[in-house]
Chains A and B, each alone.
Chain A
Amino acid sequence: MICTHRDTAVDVAIKGPQMAVWAIGGFEPHGSHLPLGTDVLIVDALAQRVAERLGDVYLLPTFPFGVSVSHRGTIGAVSLRFETLMAVVRDVVESLYAQRISKVAVINNIGVVEGASVMPFQNRIVKTAIRQINYDHPESQVIWVHPASVARRSLQDILGEGGSDLHAGELETSLMLYLYPKLVKDIPQGYAPAIHKSYLSYLPLSVLAPQGIWGRPDLASAEKGRLAFEAMVRETVRYIRRSFSILERIKKEVEIHG
């Protein structure tokens, strides 16, 4: 794995990576028990482990800010406009393409267990950005992945009712208890409003879930966090490898058959 805080440009040139891995986080209040930087802390740890397993890939620093309209205005929240994140993704990917790294895997935040794998739960715009980049640069490949989505089956076995959590719930709390236990403060009771989660696009989280959480952090444990982290790393690595291999085949077939 090539990483920016250790390797020089010469190191990168010698290793000649064909793939880059890049995580995007988010900066949002996480109730009273988890730090604001939770998403970044988790996805950064995950990206490092994923990159190590993938081998000679170029690991970029985790980008800390996402699109968090739901939290905008709440103390501690930082959100980009979707146009901004879209432009950031494009610029970063195009810089990688320009140095002939033609495969980029974007680890787009953590995701949620019950989420559809087709649409991101966090930083939705990353999907649109990537689709457009792939349209404009058909000779290269960029993919995105939500680790919790691709590890869904394993996570459903590991977690309790918290499988339907959306924010600062059983999954995130367990992951933090595993990765950074000293950063987890008193864990509150669970809260899961009985409303359609699509309402998150209409009203801020502070109205829908006044405690700032949507889930069951009370069910969290460090052991669940360890198992969940392993599962997410494993499935993310598998998804990345498999997807690039399938795409190579798809594109070759079209070249042959026209």
Chain B
Amino acid sequence: MNNLTATYRDLQDRLPEVAVFGVGAIEQHGAHLPVGTDWIIACELSRRVAEKLDAFLVPALPFSLSQCHGPTPGTVWLKPLTLAQVVEDVIVSVYQGGIRNIVVINCHGGNFILLDVIERLNRRFEDIYIVMPPESLASYKGIFSDDAPQVEVHAGEVETSLQLFLNPECVRKDRVVDHVPTVGREFMDYAFLKQISPAGVWGRPSRGTVSKGRQYLERLVDAYVNYVREALDFWRSRRRP
């Protein structure tokens, strides 16, 4: 029983080997998806991964680096160093409580600083092991459009499908607008998404379906769980006795 309704004694008696911590975002998602989209996905994805790993589930962080959209109603952000400190503190406290292996599940594309935090913390303690499954592990092939890997960045076919599966009543189908900018994705480092795409969309949400959402979520969970298991095996085989 490794969830938030457990008491600390329950956790102590059957100490989980792994903790799972999702990071979401609250930010504009076009006219058709809720501002909480990334957080909703982070909560659900981390819950499912934690269940399969029999892990301790840390509540997903709702806020992260959402500056990329520019100032927009409903967008909340943390400054990069604030996010870094929050994530570091969460990981260190969980580690000090006895759980050595931590899985961070990032559900917002802009949080590149997470890797810097994880990289450093992995060197700080001898027996800590923090992994962050890359989103690219779960391929789009067979589920989304053939060019989805090149085209899907924000509030498009992928995220719309996930929300149609998880929260269909929150998806405003009548407001769906497809938009694929011609610039590289790194342009979000240089200009606000609302400048690059006035609709606030980078992708093709009109192609989103419930079935794609369900299939992709399952694929994500399986890919992440396998990744964590392999990474843990690798770690165990490399540790000094």
Give the interface of A toward B (CB within 8 A): 67, 69-70, 72-73, 81-83, 86, 117-119, 124-125, 127-132, 134-135, 138, 141-144, 195-196, 198-204, 207, 243, 246-247, 250-251, 253-254, 257
Contacts and interface: CB of A to CB of B under 8 A. Distances in A.
Contacts of A129: 80
A125 B79 contact: no
30 contacts: A69-B116, A69-B119, A70-B119, A73-B123, A82-B120, A83-B81, A117-B185, A124-B112, A125-B113, A125-B116, A128-B113, A132-B67, A132-B80, A134-B190, A135-B67, A141-B190, A142-B190, A143-B190, A198-B132, A198-B134, A199-B234, A202-B119, A202-B131, A202-B231, A203-B238, A247-B190, A250-B195, A250-B196, A251-B195, A254-B195
Contact of B235 (A128, A131, A203): A203
B33 to A, nearest CB: 22
A202 B67 CA distance: 28
B116 A124 contact: yes
Contacts of B116: 67, 69, 82, 124-125, 128
Interface of B: 65, 67-68, 70, 79-81, 84, 110, 112-113, 115-116, 118-120, 122-123, 129-134, 183-192, 195-196, 198, 227, 231, 234-235, 238
Given A86-B81, A125-B112, 4 more contacts: A130-B190, A202-B118, A202-B130, A202-B235
Contact of A204 (B123, B130, B133, B231): B123
B185 A118 contact: yes
Contacts of A67: 116
B55 to A, nearest CB: 17
Interface of A is mostly: helix
A144 B235 contact: no
Contacts of B110: 131
A72 B123 contact: yes
A144 B190 CA distance: 9
Contacts of A203: 122, 235, 238
Contacts of B119: 69-70, 200-202
B189 A247 contact: no
Given A131-B189, A247-B191, A251-B191, A201 B122 contact: yes
Contacts of A142: 190
B231 A82 contact: no
A142 to B, nearest CB: 8
A130 B189 contact: yes
Contacts of A251: 191, 195
Contacts of B188: 131
A108 to B, nearest CB: 11
A195 B237 CA distance: 13
Contacts of A130: 189-190
A82 B88 CA distance: 13
A128 B65 contact: yes
A226 B188 CA distance: 33
Most B CB contacts (10 A, CB to CB) among A69, A144, A207 go to A69
A127 B189 contact: yes
A69 B120 contact: yes
B112 A201 contact: no
Contacts of A195: 234
Given A67-B116, A117-B184, A254-B195, A199 B231 contact: yes
A141 B112 CA distance: 20
Nearest to A208: B238
Given A199-B231, A202-B235, A246-B187, A124 B130 contact: no
